């Protein structure tokens, strides 16, 4: 998912295990996922099933899952995918972690036989890399709408991510942080532009995986929109051990804002979708785009609430349900129409 692999690959390698990174989800891998998944399960399940098959074909012999433990379907990804792949005749071991991170760590240590010191060291490097990735993503988001030559930022972002991936020590990553900032500064920009500002909310996989959302973040950026996904891979990965969930734009505050409209967490990002939509209004953003996979349960509950919020508080909202049948042209046409609308509001009001 997204650039998650960079940090996790390092973590696994530092533990003395060879990681296998499958290529990004592609037509072929998604096609495989669809044909072996339950009919109306959510899209992330199908896509990740395809990814796992690619990994197995690249020689992986152990699959590791981290599951959510709430009422959303995410809590059964591991067990179901394990069974599906086994029924297809693949040979592998599996490790399924769910519940709180401390239990997961204890289980992992038992299964993979590493000592705690080594793990701490590995996590330090993974954490610093993940943070560097977050920095790169943020810089890219903030530079892209201002760039003079379309595509510059994306190119720099890719190079930067490759550099981070290759780094081996914490010191090296620290050095890279400075270098990456310089790299982004050297992109020719036009700071006089007054871009539209859009907040991107919805289901985490759909928001953060570019292959699933047809590179919507890059598309928006290159069309002169300052886009802000509601969270980053870094925040999402380390949210259970990190204080980053607090603060004026943190997850905890967003949940607090959403409480009057939806008092309970339903296991997905539905409270965050609602909370960040309200926050977008308060911070003067021009609009909100809500992405979710078809039949996603939590986001479906959030959907009518968001619609009403949008009317009541006058926040332009585009809610898109994505699955394997979505075509990039269809999606981008809708986004383009939405942008036109916002542009008019922006100039008039």
Partner 1 sequence: MSTIGIPRALFYYYNGDKYVRFWQQVGFDVIVSPPTNRKIMEQGLKLSNTEFCVPVKVLCGHVWYLRDKVDYIFIPRILGGELHGRRRYGCPKFMGLPELVKNTVPDLPPIIAVDVELDPRKLRRAFVTTCKAMGVSKSRVVNALNILLEDEPNPTPRVEGDLILGVVGHPYLLYDEFLSLNLLGKLSDMGVTYVTSADIDHTILDTYIKQDYDVYWLYEREMIGAANYFATNRKFNGIIYCVSFGCGPSSVVSEFMQRIIAKRIPLLMLVLDEHTTEIGLLTRIEAFCDMLKWK
Can you give the binding site for partner 1, defined by CB under 8 A?
A: 38-42, 70-73, 75-76, 79-80, 83-84, 87, 261-264, 266-268, 270, 294-295, 297-298, 300-301, 303-305, 307-308, 321
Distance, first Cα to last Cα, the chain: 38
In terms of Cα–Cα distance, which of 187, 195, 189 is closest to 224? Answer: 195
Nearer to partner 1, 256 or 340 (CB): 256
CB burial of 54-75 (b: ≥16 within 10 Å; e: otherwise) equals bbbeeebeebbbbbeeeebbbe
Nearer to partner 1, 72 or 201 (CB): 72
Smallest distance from the beta carbon of 295 to partner 1, in angstroms? 5
Can you tell me the distance from the alpha carbon of 339 to that of 335, in angstroms, rounded to the nearest whole number?
6
Smallest distance from the beta carbon of 84 to partner 1, in angstroms? 7
Nearer to partner 1, 83 or 179 (CB): 83
Can you tell me the distance from the alpha carbon of 286 to that of 322, in angstroms, rounded to the nearest whole number?
23
Task: Enter the tokens of residue 191.
Answer: 């700071």
Nearer to partner 1, 75 or 250 (CB): 75
Q: Are 49 and 34 in contact (CB under 8 A)?
A: no
Smallest distance from the beta carbon of 83 to partner 1, in angstroms? 6
Q: Please state whether 325 falls in left (phi above 0), alpha (psi between -120 and 50) or beta.
A: alpha
Q: Residue for token digits 């000592």?
A: 115
Q: Please state whether 67 falls in left (phi above 0), alpha (psi between -120 and 50) or beta.
A: beta
Nearer to partner 1, 218 or 323 (CB): 323
Q: How far is CA 77 from the centre of its chain?
A: 17
Smallest distance from the beta carbon of 321 to partner 1, in angstroms? 6
Q: Are 149 and 220 in contact (CB under 8 A)?
A: no
Instruction: Give the Å distances, CA to CA, from 342 to 20, 217, 225.
Output: 43, 17, 10
CB-count exposure of residue 337 (10 Å: 0-12, 13-18, 19+): exposed
Nearer to partner 1, 2 or 78 (CB): 78
Smallest distance from the beta carbon of 237 to partner 1, in angstroms? 23
Nearer to partner 1, 181 or 300 (CB): 300
Nearer to partner 1, 133 or 274 (CB): 274
Smallest distance from the beta carbon of 303 to partner 1, in angstroms? 5
Smallest distance from the beta carbon of 273 to partner 1, in angstroms? 12
Smallest distance from the beta carbon of 261 to partner 1, in angstroms? 7
């Amino acid at each position: 998912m997204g650039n998650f692999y960079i940090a996790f690959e390092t973590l696994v390698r530092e533990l003395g295990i060879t990681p296998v990174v499958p290529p990004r989800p592609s037509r072929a891998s998604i096609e495989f996922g669809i044909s072996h998944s339950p009919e109306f399960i959510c899209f992330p399940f199908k896509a990740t099933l395809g990814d796992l098959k690619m990994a197995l074909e690249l020689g992986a012999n152990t699959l590791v899952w981290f599951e959510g433990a709430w009422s959303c379907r995410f809590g059964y990804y591991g067990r179901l995918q394990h069974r599906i792949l086994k029924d297809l005749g693949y040979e592998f071991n599996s490790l399924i972690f769910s519940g709180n991170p401390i239990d997961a760590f204890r289980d992992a240590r038992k299964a993979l036989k590493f000592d705690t010191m080594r793990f701490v060291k590995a996590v330090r490097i993974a954490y610093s890399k993940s943070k560097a990735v977050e920095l790169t993503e943020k810089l890219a988001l903030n530079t892209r709408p201002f760039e003079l030559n379309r595509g510059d930022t994306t190119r720099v972002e890719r190079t930067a991510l490759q550099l981070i991936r290759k780094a081996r020590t914490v010191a090296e990553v620290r050095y890279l942080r400075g270098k990456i900032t310089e790299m982004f500064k050297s992109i020719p920009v036009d700071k006089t532009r007054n871009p539209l500002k859009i907040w991107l909310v919805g289901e985490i996989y759909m928001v953060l995986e570019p292959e699933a959302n047809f590179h919507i973040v890059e598309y928006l950026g290159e069309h002169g929109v300052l886009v802000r996904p509601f969270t980053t891979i870094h925040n999402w990965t380390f949210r259970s051990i990190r204080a980053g969930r607090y603060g004026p734009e943190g997850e905890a505050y967003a949940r607090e804002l959403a409480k009057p409209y939806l008092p309970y967490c339903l296991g997905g990002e539905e409270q965050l979708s609602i909370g960040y939509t309200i926050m977008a209004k308060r911070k003067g953003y021009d609009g909100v785009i809500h992405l979710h996979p078809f039949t996603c349960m939590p986001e479906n509950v959030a959907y009518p609430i968001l619609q009403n919020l949008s009317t009541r508080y006058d926040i332009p909202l585009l809610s898109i349900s994505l699955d394997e049948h979505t075509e990039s042209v269809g999606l981008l046409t809708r986004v383009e129409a939405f942008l036109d609308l916002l542009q008019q509001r922006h100039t008039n009001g």
